[in-house]
Structure 1
Amino acid sequence: MLTARKLTLGRSLQQLRQVWIDAGQMARNRITGAIRPGLPPEDHHLVQRQIDACLLGSGGAVSAHARAAELGRVYLDLDLKGRRNFLRLLAAHYGVDTTDLRQVVDHWLEVSLDSDAQSGRLKAEAELRTTLRSARIRLLTQFNDLPEGIKFLVGMRSELIALKGEDPQLNAFDREFKNLLESWFDIGFLELHRITWDAPAALLETLANYEAVHPIRSWRDIKHRLAAADRRCYAFIHPQMPNDPLIFVWVALTHGIPDNIQNLLSIQGAEVELGEANTAVFYSISATQSGLDGVGLGSFLIKRVVDRLSRDHKQLKEFSTLSPIPGFASWLQELTAGEDRGSGNLSDAVGWLQHHGDLNRIFSDRSWVRDVAAVDQVREPLLVLCTHYLMEAKRGESALDPVANFHLSNGASIERLNWLGDTSKRGQLQSACLMVNYRYRLKDIESNHEAYHTDGKIVCAKSISGLLKT
């Protein structure tokens, strides 16, 4: 009992000690103006004072640059909690001034009714545009002039994305932030670089760390992807972030469209002579900057690389992907667990699979891949089901599968399903080892893109449409 009392007293004294430490730190901060790493509410006024000074813009360009640099240093010195509090502060207190907005809108409505006051109406429109540009966006723009300022802002938006959840103020802030970055990362500002084996080691490590589809297993692996005569890697680079590829794509030059990723990635495989290669295969595309989510660089990268390869290698006639199908397993498990299992060959395929296949084994038991009889038994129903998933499973008007939606949105068509195309553990878990080729026909890219975005129409080869009717 005595020991327990001593432990309780010890904890109480420790808590009291921490309270006194915090009180002392708060008092010192008030005297010195220092901002604590967690940015507690008591320190908000210190940050707001610096933000307001940046927005006031007194003094010349040198002073403005110094104020922005100091505020940026404050943000970087905060811990994760503090940076999140900083972002909440911007979201809550530095949006569009609603009082000013009402006045400007009223003025615009007033002058817009006068058909003879064109100059007044145009001036009111300019005032409206200025008022709709929030204080926080004017603040963020100042960071762009700092060394590596744009990289700082991309990192800041990455933290905002992780924080925002369903909060309306944070989401409004993020929409503004995204629009700002879209203007700075416009395709016209980006440079397409081919990454080769003699690139700096730090750049190669970036490729290895951010490869999202087929992990790089060794230095021999990445050397093969970069140095082999039939391999290419291209990336978008922003001039203000020269050492940071924003998004990159791996390409293999092949004879014909491949159907198996293990064969394509094999280091021991024979290289294809450039003169014999007639197909460029995009087998992985990865982004490195989560702060640019939603900016949409991937579609431009594919098209720019197609243009580059067409120019550099006139013999290339086909442009295709060898792509994973990441959502198939979860869709199929949900379908078989529900009461509505479709009709026609979709219902037949589900029934066959339930009687002759074990979904748990198909998607997770590694012995299934080596069981030739079991694999052959479910081949046809799985191909039918996967075709229905890619062609008919939708989120709104768009394909449910994220990879399918990406390529179809870019103007590709579905060319072929590949049985046992990815026998890795990940491939089995996601799609029962199935892969798909999306084909980019240069003459059809624009019409496919328009049909998909206008009507949700998916263009496919006859081998694919035939599986819907099997």
Structure 2
Amino acid sequence: MEQHDGWLLADLFQALGRRRDGAPEPGEPDSALEQLIASCEVLMSDVGEASMRAVAARALAAYGELDDDGRRAFFAHVTRTYDVDADQVRSAFHRWETARQAGSHGEAELVRLFDAVEPARQQLLRRMNHAPGATPALVDMRADLRRLMRDRPELRPLDHDFLHLLTSWFNRGFLRMAEVTPDSPPDLHTHLLQHERVHPMADHEELRRRLQPADRRIFAFFHPATGDMPLVFVEVALVRGLPRHIAPLLDPGPEIDPASADTAALYSINNALDGLAGVSFGSFLIKQVIEQVGEQLPHLTQFATLSPIPGFRRWLLEQAPHEPELERLAAELETSAGTCALAPPDLERMRSLLLPVLARYIARERRDDGRPVDAVARFHLGNGATAWELNWPANTSPEAWEQSYGAMVNYRYEPDRLERQHEEFVRRRTVAVGGPLQDVLPETEPPRPHATEPGSEKGTP
């Protein structure tokens, strides 16, 4: 039987490959792209479970041989060929509407309508997932798609299909949180090094400084399909008081006794798989980390971040031509050579001008959907955190200057307020503000042109 299935598959691949326009002459091997397209046709035909597994494996192997041009061609083919059938959608909708007008609830017709409006691409991806090790391969495939579709907007429907399926496959019920330790597998350590984008690490020695001391922790979410490869990870420092500068958290220095700490600072949160962008794990991980660290160290009095403000500089330069005060502030910041070049009196004067504008940017500036324009603010405020304190200068790296002139912000996570503030944010777009940030927030919202959202930033808040 297995031999018969093998012959059947070989004949089917041969037939599919040869009947294409421009296919190789008989006797010549099919290209990887042709094999992949043929595999997809087989997967979408009436094929048995065992054969589906073999064909899916062949499809993923062929995909792995493609260069970027071949991948673009494959994505375009899938997007076009396995789209919804407009006639079927219209027909299914008409049957459902007719049933409702006749006084029926039309449950059966509604199910058929749901089936009709789902693109065949989603079924193709599900069937590809039958191959051994397919789920991580499909996550990588989506990472390729996201990279290659930046100048190909017609591929966005396929990305939406990937996101729809991956959100289901990687839902919270399948995730397992674990602490990463110096004894964790070396491949896991290497993965953290490669995917730390908020505060990149140069080598394993730098990673050791974030793992080894008693006042440092790293936690990650894992999924059965990815084994020891984390989906998202968060780095924690046990400190005294809210951190206001990033250097003490990253640079070598004396560790403190965890028993003397009063604050758990979550200073870096990273998605570790580019193909899972848009699948929300970070909020669950943060809340679980807070719960676990709080149980381990019940004397801690506060949990907070020291977060970047990645879109601020771009926003300021876009808004400056419309508001004279912002234009003067932007001009002074742009002509300075960084905070190191400013004398203490100039720093204080600049801080008094900059902090209210930063507060406005985080708490007042909104997108069309009513949520903050800053991606990191959306993430933490959407989790129910409170925008608490602005810090400048907090990060003197060139990258931080490019993002926010070196400014950072503390978001406080107060366990007894998270759920209520999350609901207020989701339902009413209410931004929770407190502490020193509230004190510098302008009382009235200044008139301004529509605030545009900055482009996507590297890394994850």
Normalising TM by the smaller chain, what interval?
A: 0.7 to 0.9
Select 1:317's aligned residue among 265, 278, 301: 301
Select 1:87's aligned residue among 69, 72, 75: 75
State the TM-score, normalized to the length of structure 1. 0.83
CA deviations over 1:342-384 (Å, ceiling 9, x no partner): xxxxx4x765x47xx732243x446415x33332332211122
**1:50–1:333: structure 2 CA closer, same or farther, 3 Å change rule?**
closer
Over aligned residue pairs, what C-alpha RMSD do you find? 2.4
Q: By how many angstroms is 1:438 displaced?
A: 0.3
Select 1:198's aligned residue among 178, 183, 200: 183
Query: Do the aligned residues in 1 keep the contact of 2:88 with 2:116 (CA within 8 Å)?
Result: yes
Amino acid at match of 1:273: D
State the TM-score, normalized to the length of structure 2. 0.85
Amino acid at match of 2:29: A
Q: Which residue of 2 aligns with 1:414?
A: 387
Q: Which residue of 2 aligns with 1:29?
A: 24
Counterpart CA distance in 2 for 1:32 and 1:231 is: 62
Q: Which residue of 1 aligns with 2:449?
A: none
Query: Do the aligned residues in 1 keep the contact of 2:215 with 2:258 (CA within 8 Å)?
Result: yes
Query: Do the aligned residues in 1 keep the contact of 2:360 with 2:442 (CA within 8 Å)?
Result: no
Match runs of 1:8-47 below 5 Å: 29-32=24-27, 34-37=29-32, 39=33, 43=34, 47=36
Q: By how many angstroms is 1:48 displaced?
A: 4.2
- Is 1:278 aligned with 2:262? yes
**1:123–1:469: structure 2 CA closer, same or farther, 3 Å change rule?**
closer
Q: Which residue of 2 aligns with 1:426?
A: 399
Q: Which residue of 1 aligns with 2:418?
A: 445
**1:450–1:219: structure 2 CA closer, same or farther, 3 Å change rule?**
same
Counterpart CA distance in 2 for 1:367 and 1:255 is: 26
Q: Which residue of 1 aligns with 2:6?
A: none
Counterpart CA distance in 2 for 1:204 and 1:87 is: 33
Q: By how many angstroms is 1:339 displaced?
A: 3.4
Taking only the aligned residue pairs, the percentage that are identical comes to: 33
Match runs of 1:38-117 below 5 Å: 39=33, 43=34, 47-58=36-47, 60-115=48-103
Gaps of 5+ in 2: 1-20, 444-461
- Is 1:402 aligned with 2:363? no
Q: Which residue of 1 aligns with 2:353?
A: 381
Amino acid at match of 1:393: E
Counterpart CA distance in 2 for 1:28 and 1:112 is: 49
**1:96–1:450: structure 2 CA closer, same or farther, 3 Å change rule?**
same
Query: Do the aligned residues in 1 keep the contact of 2:142 with 2:275 (CA within 8 Å)?
Result: yes
Counterpart CA distance in 2 for 1:82 and 1:113 is: 49
Q: Which residue of 2 aligns with 1:360?
A: 334
- Is 1:455 aligned with 2:433? no
Counterpart CA distance in 2 for 1:428 and 1:168 is: 31
Counterpart CA distance in 2 for 1:97 and 1:276 is: 64
Counterpart CA distance in 2 for 1:394 and 1:416 is: 19
SS at match of 1:285: strand
Higher RCO, 1 vs 2 (CA within 8 Å, ≥6 residues apart): 2
Q: By how many angstroms is 1:255 displaced?
A: 2.2
Gaps of 5+ in 1: 1-25, 342-346
Query: Do the aligned residues in 2 keep the contact of 1:399 with 1:405 (CA within 8 Å)?
Result: yes
Select 1:224's aligned residue among 209, 213, 235: 209
Amino acid at match of 1:359: L
Q: By how many angstroms is 1:416 displaced?
A: 0.8
SS at match of 1:194: strand
Counterpart CA distance in 2 for 1:123 and 1:339 is: 56
Counterpart CA distance in 2 for 1:167 and 1:271 is: 49
Counterpart CA distance in 2 for 1:309 and 1:382 is: 35
Counterpart CA distance in 2 for 1:72 and 1:164 is: 20
Question: How many residue pairs get matched?
Answer: 422
Q: Which residue of 2 aligns with 1:146?
A: 131
Amino acid at match of 1:387: A
- Is 1:436 aligned with 2:420? no
Deviates more, 1:128-137 or 1:222-231: 128-137
The structure with the largest alpha-carbon Rg is: 1
Counterpart CA distance in 2 for 1:209 and 1:223 is: 14
Q: Which residue of 2 aligns with 1:287?
A: 271
Counterpart CA distance in 1 for 2:46 and 2:310 is: 50
Counterpart CA distance in 1 for 2:189 and 2:408 is: 27
Q: By how many angstroms is 1:335 displaced?
A: 3.3
Select 1:178's aligned residue among 142, 146, 163: 163
